[in-house]
Amino acid sequence: MSLTDNNLKYKIGEYVIYRQIGICQIVDIRKENFDSSIEKTYYVLKSMSDKTIIYVPVDSQEIELFMRDILTVDKIQSIIDKAETSQNEWVENSKLRANYFEQLLQNGNRSEILWIVKVLSLHKIDVEKSNRKFYVSDERILAKAERLIIDEFAYILGMEKCQVIPYIMSHIKQKQ
């Protein structure tokens, strides 16, 4: 594959979501030889949150699984709607719940990630009202899910990160 190949899905300058890293900009597409075997063409991604540089082979099957187009404003509203009607179910056992939620996070479906934010936030309120402790595993997953949703939504909607959850809640309340 050459750098001028028009079959590349992404172009330099585009923004994508990569795995659980979040928003990244494609800053280059170039050939590299990292393991002293075959030279490959890579997307060079720069994380918008911490400036990490990530190399993703353009011919990797991973691209379809872990690299996604950035959302639009209309798609955000659709995700909020889908999160409200999610078919996912709460898992009582905390270890099983952690595994289940990690799988949902790995899949990268933003409606499911938003559903995680919703159910864990409500669970946290219930736990705190009854003077119990919120599990560390739940806290870790909630923080990861919030970061994925908040970073992307704030970027797309052109708002501060602290405004994202109230924005989501106001759209949910409008439908009820």
Q: What is the number of structural domains in the chain? A: 2
Looking at the structure, tell me whether residues 55 and 100 fall in a common domain: no
Evaluate if residue 176 carries a pLDDT over 60: no
- CA–CA distance, 78 with 81 (Å, rounded to integer): 5
Planar angle of CA 8, 19, 123, nearest 5 degrees: 150
Looking at the structure, tell me whether residues 37 and 113 fall in a common domain: no
Looking at the structure, tell me whether residues 151 and 103 fall in a common domain: yes
- CA–CA distance, 27 with 72 (Å, rounded to integer): 21
- Mean pLDDT across the stretch 80-106? 91
**Which whole-number Å values give the CA distances from 99 to 56, 116, 142, 143, in the listed order?**
26, 12, 13, 15
What domain range includes position 149? Answer: 71-175
Determine the pLDDT at residue 135.
Answer: 95
Determine the pLDDT at residue 4.
Answer: 47
Assigned token pair, 77: 């509203």
Looking at the structure, tell me whether residues 113 and 134 fall in a common domain: yes
* Interhelix angle 110-129/73-84, nearest 10 degrees: 50
Evaluate if residue 28 carries a pLDDT over 90: yes
Determine the pLDDT at residue 24.
Answer: 92
pTM for this model (two decimals): 0.73
Evaluate if residue 6 carries a pLDDT over 70: no
Looking at the structure, tell me whether residues 86 and 28 fall in a common domain: no
The domain that holds 80 is classified in CATH as: 1.20.58
Is residue 8 a part of any domain in this protein?
no
Which of 68, 83, 110 is at the close of a domain? Answer: 68
**Which whole-number Å values give the CA distances from 113 to 16, 27, 86, 132, in the listed order?**
17, 27, 10, 25
Looking at the structure, tell me whether residues 99 and 167 fall in a common domain: yes
The domain that holds 31 is classified in CATH as: 2.40.10
Evaluate if residue 134 carries a pLDDT over 80: yes
What percent of the chain clears pLDDT 70, i.e. is strictly above it? 94
Evaluate if residue 2 carries a pLDDT over 50: no
Q: What is the pLDDT of residues 32-81, one digit of tens each?
A: 988 777 888 999 999 988 889 999 999 888 787 788 888 899 999 999 88
The half-sphere exposure of 33 on its side-chain side, counting CA atoms within 13 A, is: 4
